[in-house]
């Protein structure tokens, strides 16, 4: 039966490739999904960097900005609307100079420090462990804490875990109670070091492997709080790092991270967030698509040491990175967010979905006011960026079943280079609804997609679209809804055939039932 199904798919693809207009050919096997798309793929990352924490989340109880125990209400509600599944904190590079005991107890008595990584500003530690876990509770999201390995100690990390999760009689549990929290928190996700190959200590993979095993030994489970220990993984295409760490420490971890940023030019001049030509746009998308190769190759190494895929790939830093906005602190990494960033986000999330047998978490960098933020704030004002609306559209995939697809795409060409014009992902949720997310990266041409649904009878279809007139359009506090979601009318259903016309530079979500 499966062989007949395969032959049928091949025949449909061949038929669809006869005419140029029908080259975008999609087949969805709606009755064959086996892999669950882990909701944590749709996670976020917030570091003590620029205005991400202070002014982004935290304004203090005495602020005129509406807040709950010092945490902005508008930011919390917006993140709840995209069902944020987890939040990584306190870094980033900052995590490896952060000493958690400076961030507990009465705020007026907390010691100040200099944030040496990001702008050399004073960090007053008014936002610490209790505030972060209160933020997660308000958003109904799971916390992901990165422990200090670079400048910290095993004892410091071990006591932090005890302070947060131990329900018993101990110095750290009693200190937590003294600071106003009787019951322990449930915190499953713990990162053991961040970018240990760079700002986290400039370590070799052999040295880090030994250090990780040491730290992981003392990252203990208390009661029914079972830790998901995440080891520091590779920077981009450093496959030797993955090979060494998996070989030496793979059996001691539950997750292994991977960091990759989409940088259009180079690290010296990353390019503008809003002023770019089509050649630079093409390069941005081309570099974004490299994520698929990275996951494939790192995944192949992990498979050799972990064929059952027990260890999750955790892509806990990803997104676009440009030059900061003119006139802003270069250490604050504040950049605008255009429709180009939405295209990047949609493609990445489709890639993560496709690899959801190995990818178990991903964290966009960063949530508010930093890098590819989903929100920007200015005092009492707050807006949602184009990237926010991609997460709004894609939330339907969280914990849904990935549906197998066969897809041939038209090409988007720039000079002598070409890439797929269209990216796609499909899933079925617990109620039986099928959701398809489509990205047309071509900024000039609409794309017609002929879709064959196998194993499903569909009667109704509706959709939403994110697009704008120009690829570099973005939202401002004066025009906060210039790039936003609207109803999509470009899909037609005829029996098991679905015809979709994707406008240029667009992200579309379809719901079939």
| Catalytic residue positions, numbered | 195, 317
> Going by C-beta distance under 8 Å and a sequence separation of 6 or more, which residues neighbour residue 266?
none
DSSP 431-451: TS-EEEEEEE--SS--EEEEE
DSSP 66-126: -EETTEEHHHHHHHHHTT--EEEES-SGGGGG--GGGGSS-GGGSPPEE-TTTTT-EE---
Q: How many CA atoms lie within 13 A of 26 on its CB side?
A: 28
The helix/strand/coil state of 321 is coil
DSSP-assigned letter for residue 307 = T
**Alpha-carbon span 494 to 263, nearest angstrom:** 42
Phi-psi region of 333 (alpha: psi -120 to 50; beta: other; left: phi over 0): left
Angstrom distances, CA of residue 264 to CA of 78, 132, 296, 472, 510: 29, 33, 22, 14, 30
At residue 428, φ and ψ (nearest 5 deg) are -125, 130
Q: Which two tokens stand for residue 294?
A: 């990275």
Helix (H) or strand (E) holding 418, with range, is: strand 417-420
Helix (H) or strand (E) holding 345, with range, is: helix 339-354
Question: 327: how many CB neighbours lie within 10 A of its CB?
Answer: 6
**Alpha-carbon span 365 to 174, nearest angstrom:** 35
What's the angle, vertex CA 260, arms to CA 259 and CA 261, rounded to 5?
130
**Alpha-carbon span 15 to 11, nearest angstrom:** 6
> Going by C-beta distance under 8 Å and a sequence separation of 6 or more, which residues neighbour residue 12?
25, 27, 406, 452
Chain mean position to CA 459: 33
Please choose, from the candidates 116, 130, 144, 139, the residue with its C-alpha nearest in 3D space to the C-alpha of residue 48. Answer: 116
Phi-psi region of 287 (alpha: psi -120 to 50; beta: other; left: phi over 0): alpha
The helix/strand/coil state of 472 is coil
- Exposed / middle / buried, residue 408 (Cβ in 10 Å: 0-12, 13-18, 19+): middle
400, 435 Cβ separation under 8 angstroms? yes
What's the start-to-end Cα distance of the chain, in Å?
26
């Amino acid at each position: 039966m499966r062989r007949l199904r395969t032959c049928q798919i091949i025949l449909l693809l061949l038929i669809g490739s006869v005419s140029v207009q029908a080259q975008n050919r999609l087949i969805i096997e709606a009755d064959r999904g086996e892999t669950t798309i882990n909701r944590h793929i749709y996670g976020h990352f917030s570091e003590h960097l620029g205005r991400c924490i202070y002014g982004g989340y935290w304004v203090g109880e005495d602020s005129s900005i509406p807040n709950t125990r010092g945490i902005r209400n508008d930011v919390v509600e917006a993140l709840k609307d995209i069902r944020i599944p987890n939040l990584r904190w306190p870094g980033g590079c900052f995590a490896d100079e952060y000493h958690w005991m400076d961030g507990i107890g009465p705020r007026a008595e907390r010691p100040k420090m200099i944030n040496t990584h990001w702008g050399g500003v004073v960090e007053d530690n008014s936002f610490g462990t209790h505030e972060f876990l209160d933020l997660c509770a308000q958003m109904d999201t799971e916390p992901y804490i990165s422990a200090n390995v670079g400048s910290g100690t095993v004892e410091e990390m071990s006591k932090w875990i005890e302070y947060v999760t131990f329900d018993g009689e101990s110095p750290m549990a009693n200190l937590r109670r003294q600071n106003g929290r009787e019951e322990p928190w449930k915190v499953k996700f713990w990162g053991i070091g961040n970018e240990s190959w760079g700002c986290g200590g400039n370590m070799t993979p052999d040295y880090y492997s030994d250090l990780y095993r040491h730290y992981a030994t003392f990252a203990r489970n208390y009661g029914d709080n079972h830790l998901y220990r995440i080891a520091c993984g590779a920077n981009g295409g450093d496959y030797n790092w993955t090979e060494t760490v998996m070989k030496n420490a793979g059996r001691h971890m539950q997750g292994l991270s991977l960091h990759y940023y989409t940088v259009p030019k180079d690290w010296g001049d990353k390019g503008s967030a809003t002023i770019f030509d089509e050649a630079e746009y093409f390069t941005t998308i081309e570099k974004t698509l490299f994520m698929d190769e990275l996951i494939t190759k790192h995944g192949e190494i992990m498979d050799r040491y972990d064929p059952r895929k027990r260890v999750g790939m955790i892509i806990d830093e990803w997104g676009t990175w440009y030059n900061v906005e003119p006139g802003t602190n270069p250490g604050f990494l504040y950049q605008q967010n255009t429709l180009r960033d939405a295209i990047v986000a949609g493609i990445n999330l489709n890639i993560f979905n496709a690899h959801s047998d190995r990818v178990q978490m991903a964290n966009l960098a960063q949530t508010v006011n930093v890098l590819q933020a989903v929100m920007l704030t200015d005092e009492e004002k707050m807006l949602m960026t184009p990237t926010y609306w991609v997460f709004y559209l894609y939330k339907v995939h969280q914990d849904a079943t990935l549906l197998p697809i066969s897809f041939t795409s038209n090409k988007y060409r720039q000079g002598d280079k070409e890439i797929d014009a269209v990216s796609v992902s499909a899933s079925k949720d617990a109620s039986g609804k099928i959701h398809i997310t489509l990205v047309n990266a071509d900024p000039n041409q609409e794309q017609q997609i002929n879709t064959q649904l196998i194993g499903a009878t569909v009667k109704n279809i509706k959709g939403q679209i994110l697009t704008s007139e120009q690829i570099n359009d973005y939202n401002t506090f004066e025009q906060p809804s210039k790039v936003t979601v609207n109803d999509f009318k470009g899909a037609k259903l005829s029996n098991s055939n679905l015809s979709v016309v994707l406008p240029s530079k667009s992200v579309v979500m379809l719901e079939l039932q």
